[in-house]
């Protein structure tokens, strides 16, 4: 097995020579598992570019990497020399390759912790009990959980809990190209959807660059977008996250219809037509716009008047138009 030259760190220190990711995958017979949506990124120039997109990482910072797999992005993070690197990897097959990186991190005074847990259930507050250090979230996300994880993190961001007890925890994550473009989709874009609005209420999403599918092993059927999500210092609403998510989900449930169609399903049939008209009037929103033509502010005005309506008629909050009749 070839021994590559040591890589120079930003401080002038060197990351000890290691086998390449491709060599480690071959040595440990680490095949990507389709059921876990795994795709390995072998090119260190690309992993370096992903980590560079995260911005400045100081020697006092903590980085949490989601799904490091064999450790490609992990190496690029180590070269930035955070004080602590947390790896959350559900698949225990990668234990030996990640342990190699832990041994490399020790002489550099980088604390590297490996957690073989599901990121969807990972308790960040338990493992990062104080908020004196800045936290970065970085990861080549499995496609199967990316949207669900992001919505969970937005809920944490809205509540200032978990990874978001500080207001400067940025996320630098990979998504299928189409999902990445939806997250960042501007007003009136055909790609604008529920995820666009939810992302833009609490963060400033930036599509940093596109990675061609052929850069991954195995090659996915789609290209991949790297998105940086920067929390807004002042979120655009103080309404409860669950209420906003419910309203936006209903609005976009019929995205090719007039926006009143999906929104009206928040209300019981006996009052639907009359109250939908009144709520749109109170929100000062044109009810014949398509959902993708609604601004974030218009969606939030519709959420506000819905919240006021629920306060007046509490039983409406329990209504589910999809429930068995």
pLDDT of 9-42, one tens digit each? 555 456 666 667 666 666 555 565 554 445 778 7
Give the tokens for residue 157. Answer: 């961001």
pLDDT digits (tens, 9 = 90+) for 200-257: 999 999 999 999 988 887 677 889 999 999 999 999 999 999 999 999 999 999 989 9
The CATH number for 241-318, chosen from 3.40.50.300, 1.10.8.100, 3.30.70.3270, 1.10.3720.10, is: 1.10.8.100
Q: In 9-71, which residue ranges form alpha helices assigned H by DSSP? A: 21-27, 44-53
Beta 111-115 vs 84-88: how paired, if at all?
A: parallel
Task: Calculate mean pLDDT across residues 178-202.
Answer: 97
Mean confidence (pLDDT) of the chain: 90
Q: Tokens 């306060």 appear where?
A: 311
φ and ψ of 11, to 5 deg: -85, -5
Task: Calculate mean pLDDT across residues 156-183.
Answer: 97
CA distances from 255 to 162, 264, 276, 298 (A): 32, 13, 17, 15
- Spatial CB neighbours of 127, under 8 Å, sequence gap ≥ 6: 86, 113, 115
- Spatial CB neighbours of 243, under 8 Å, sequence gap ≥ 6: 303, 306, 307, 310
The pLDDT confidence band at residue 1, using thresholds 50, 70 and 90, is very low
Identify the pLDDT of residue 36: 44
Nearest one of 314, 206, 304, 190 to 252, comparing CA atoms: 190
pLDDT digits (tens, 9 = 90+) for 286-304: 999 999 999 999 999 999 9
Q: What letters, b where the CB count within 10 A reaches 16 and e where it falls short, cover 92-126?
A: ebbeebbeebbebbeebebebebeeeebeebebee
- Say if CB 211 and CB 224 are below 8 A apart: yes
Task: Calculate mean pLDDT across residues 159-182.
Answer: 97
Domain 7-231 -> CATH class: alpha beta
CATH 1.10.8.100 intervals, the chain: 241-318
- Say if CB 15 and CB 78 are below 8 A apart: yes
φ and ψ of 83, to 5 deg: -70, -35
pLDDT digits (tens, 9 = 90+) for 74-93: 999 999 999 999 999 998 88
Identify the pLDDT of residue 69: 87
Query: For residue 5, is pLDDT > 90?
Result: no
- First vs last C-alpha separation in the chain: 66
Weakest-pLDDT range from 38-47, 100-109, 177-186, 192-201: 38-47
Identify the pLDDT of residue 308: 98
Identify the pLDDT of residue 21: 65
> 320 exposed, middle or buried (CB, 10 Å; 0-12, 13-18, 19+)?
exposed
Identify the pLDDT of residue 52: 97
pTM metric for this prediction: 0.90
Query: For residue 260, is pLDDT > 50?
Result: yes
Nearest one of 121, 114, 75 to 92, comparing CA atoms: 114
How much of the chain is in helix, strand and coil states, percent to nearest 5?
45, 15, 40
Q: Which residue has the higher pLDDT, 55 or 13?
A: 55
CATH 3.40.50.150 intervals, the chain: 7-231
């Amino acid at each position: 097995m070839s021994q590559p030259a040591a890589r120079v760190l930003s401080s002038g220190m060197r990351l000890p020579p290691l086998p390449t990711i491709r060599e480690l995958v071959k040595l440990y017979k680490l095949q990507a598992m389709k059921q876990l949506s795994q795709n390995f990124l072998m090119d260190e120039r690309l992993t370096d570019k992903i980590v560079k997109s995260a911005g400045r990482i100081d020697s006092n910072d903590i980085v949490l990497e989601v799904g490091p797999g064999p450790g490609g992005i992990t190496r690029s993070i180590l070269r930035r020399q955070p004080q602590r690197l947390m790896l959350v990897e559900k698949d225990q097959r990668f234990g030996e390759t990640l342990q190699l990186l832990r041994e490399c991190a020790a002489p550099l005074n980088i604390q590297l912790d490996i957690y073989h847990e599901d990121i969807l259930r990972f308790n960040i507050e338990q493992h990062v009990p104080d908020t004196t250090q800045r936290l970065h979230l970085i990861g080549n996300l499995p496609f199967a959980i990316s949207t669900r994880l992001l919505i969970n993190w937005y809920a944490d961001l809205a509540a200032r809990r978990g990874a978001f007890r500080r207001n400067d925890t940025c996320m630098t994550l990979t998504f299928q190209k189409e999902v990445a473009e939806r997250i960042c989709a501007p007003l009136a874009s055909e790609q604008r959807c529920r995820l666009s609005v939810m992302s833009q209420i609490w963060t400033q999403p930036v599509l940093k660059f596109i990675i061609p599918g052929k850069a991954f092993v195995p090659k996915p059927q789609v290209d991949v977008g790297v998105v940086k999500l920067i929390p807004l210092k002042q979120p655009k609403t103080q309404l409860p996250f669950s209420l906003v998510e419910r309203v936006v989900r209903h609005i976009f449930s019929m995205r090719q219809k007039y926006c009143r169609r999906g929104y009206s399903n928040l209300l019981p049939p006996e009052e639907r037509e009359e109250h939908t008209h009144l709520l749109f009037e109170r929100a000062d929103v044109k009810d014949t716009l398509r959902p993708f033509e609604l601004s974030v502010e218009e969606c939030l005005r519709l959420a506000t008047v819905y919240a006021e309506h629920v306060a007046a008629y509490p039983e409406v909050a329990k209504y589910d138009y999809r429930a068995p009749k």
